[in-house]
Every structure is written in C-alpha cells, then in structure tokens.
Structure 1
C-alpha cells in the first residue's frame, strides 16, 4: 500500500464518519463539509477535521449554532471554516 492509498482510505473513512455522527443535525453540518473539502485536504487538514469530529455532538452543535463558545482547546480557526461553509449551504 502506498502513501496515496493510505490518504485515500483515510479520506473515505472521514467522509463516512462525517455523515454518521449519531445526530442528524451534525450529519448535515459535517457531511456536506467533508464531501466538499476532504479530497483537497492534506494530512494536516485531515488531522484538524478529525480532531474537531472527536468532539461530542451536543457541544459541537452549540458551537456551530453560536449558542456557546468553544473551550480554548478547540481549533477555533478551523471551526470557523466549518461554520462559514454550513452558513453558505443553509442560505442556498
């Protein structure tokens, strides 16, 4: 298996996880984001997405909806990218 195969499998697994979170609301935030962006992400970008996806859905949803401020350990810059992507899709 090559490094290209490894990252292709990783991308596929991330896309699956993004669409099968456990809560439909987060599926609808992270699934479309992953579909649109995962293929162009390098390992660092995938790491950032996986770290964000390791957060619990209820907390993550409150951050995405602007109902709570995420703790300092959360990659706010990346979360803002996800939120902006979701906002554009919600308006379409």
Structure 2
C-alpha cells in the first residue's frame, strides 16, 4: 500500500484540526480568542497554501502578534499579508 501523496484531503483535514487546536491554545487568552475564533470560522475552507501561511502565523510569539493586532507596534512588512488583514477584518480591527 502506497502512502498518501502530500496535501491530500486527509492530510489537509489533519493539518486543519492541528491549526484550530493551536489557535485556541496559544497561552495568551486574547490571542486564543483572536486566532481561535478566526480558525473556527475559516480554517475549514483554507487551501493548502493559505493553511501553510496560517501555520506560519501561529509560530509567531503572542506578544508580537498582540502588538500588531492592537496597533501598539507596526506590523512588519513581511507579515502584513492578506491573511493577517483578513484576520483583522474578521474582528473589526484596523492595524497600523
């Protein structure tokens, strides 16, 4: 029996479940709410590329993300992506 090729539906479903779990278990309640609620609403529809981008966002420290979402610090150019803006729009946040 051959293993499933990468990014099959089964693989994507497992990645989506992990991403949702990680979004809700950040360590900082505010970030759990921001990323977890977004994940609940959007992760199921993400394609492999967008999911990869979301997974990379989940690797960023809470304190940095929180500053960007609250406008306490500028969003680095390489992180000011369509996905980051979509999360902001989802929550009605206007980042600086």
Return the TM-score normalized by structure 2.
0.83
Q: From 45, 50, 75, give the equivalent of 1:45.
A: 50
Task: Map Cα deviations across residues 23-75 of structure 1 (whole Å, 9 max, x no partner).
Answer: 00000000000000000000011011111111100010010111211223314
Q: How does 1:25-36 map to 2 (within 5 A)?
A: 25-36=30-41
Q: CA RMSD in A?
A: 1.5
Count the aligned residue pairs.
88
Partner of 1:85: 90
Larger Rg: 2
Partner of 1:56: 61
Return the TM-score normalized by structure 1.
0.87
Q: How far apart in 1 are the matches of 2:74 and 2:17? A: 30
Gaps of 5+ in 2: none
> Is the 1:64–1:83 Cα contact (8 Å) retained in structure 2?
yes
With 11-20 and 78-87 compared, the bigger mean Cα shift is at 78-87
Which structure has more helix as a fraction of its residues? 1
